[in-house]
Amino acid sequence: MISAILGICLLLVVTADIVMSTLGVGANGPLAPRVARGTFHSIRFFPKPDWVHRTCGPLVVVSIGAAWIVLMCLSWTLILSGSTGSVVSPATSAPTNIVEKAIYGGHLLSTLGGGNYESSGLLWGAVSALIGISGMVVLTLSVSFVYSTTQAVSAGRAILALSDIHQPGADQFSRVLLPQFATLVAQIKAIPFALYFSSVREERRLPQKLAQLRSHPQISEQDRKNLDILLRELPGLEHVSQDSFDDAFNDWAKGYTLRPEKR
């Protein structure tokens, strides 16, 4: 019974994290930000050939998806373990062990059915149906999560390319580029994991490029103030005061930067 209670608690936490991360429009779930940060810090210990810059963002996204799947499977396994006879072997009607329950739950989560096992009784049949439904929900939201993240990354790189054309100091910077940045910040606010994507080209790494634009020698004071208004909407900078914004923004940008490559 205790394992079932633990499983229900874990299921609620994982479900909340999935919903907040995929549909929360900027709300932080309890798990995904920590998984992303831990994965990114681990990648920082790797050497920095081109493939690390290309793959660090996808690795972060994959680690979040893998954590959701593993924890969802674990939670349902704990729930099924609340009763010894919740899952049985159809050939012998013998109760299954915890490993077999995990296999059964994993099959249902993948929407492939229960595999070589089946539920016993009406209650556990209803639980099995819920496992299958949760698997479909997780699959659908994960696809949406990946798509939204890659769209935000693509939009960011397009705007960074545009910033090479309309550089600070030009009239087009405030008339053309700042409205584009407003849209990008809104996307990043909804999908903050896009910030973990790097690029082989240094000028296409979003946090670092934003720091360069903000400190550009040709940017006017008014354009910098307008840019700061937008940048303070980024995740982690919402409550920073103007007096301490310089240091806070530089630290924020470094937090999404891979270590310099060793020559």
pLDDT at 68: 93
Nearest to 191 by CA among 17, 23, 39, 67: 23
pLDDT at 63: 95
Beta strands in 84-243 (DSSP E): 87-88, 118-119
pLDDT at 35: 95
pLDDT at 236: 87
Burial of 234 (0-12, 13-18, 19+ CB in 10 A): buried
Q: What's the CA gap between 41 and 101, in Å, rounded?
A: 34
pTM: 0.87
How far is C-alpha 102 from the chain's CA centre? 25
Nearest to 248 by CA among 199, 207, 203, 213: 207
pLDDT at 259: 66
Q: b/e for 100-129, b at 16 or more Cβ within 10 A?
A: bbbbbbbbbbeeeebeebbbbeeebeebbe
134, 183 Cβ separation under 8 angstroms: no
Token reading at 66: 């893998």
Q: What's the CA gap between 46 and 197, in Å, rounded?
A: 15
**Bridge partners of residue 87, in order along the sequence:** 119
pLDDT at 89: 82
pLDDT at 261: 47
Ramachandran area for residue 28 (φ above 0: left; ψ -120 to 50: alpha; else beta): beta
How far is C-alpha 178 from the chain's CA centre? 26
**Rg, C-alpha atoms of the chain:** 23
pLDDT at 262: 45
In tens digits, the chain (263 residues) has pLDDT values of 788 999 999 999 999 999 988 886 666 788 999 999 999 999 988 876 788 888 999 999 999 999 999 999 999 999 999 888 888 888 788 888 899 899 988 888 887 776 778 888 888 889 999 999 999 988 898 888 899 899 999 999 999 999 889 888 888 888 889 999 999 998 898 889 999 999 888 888 899 999 999 889 999 999 999 999 999 989 888 888 888 898 999 899 988 988 644 43
pLDDT at 17: 92
Token reading at 78: 């704990």
pLDDT at 150: 92
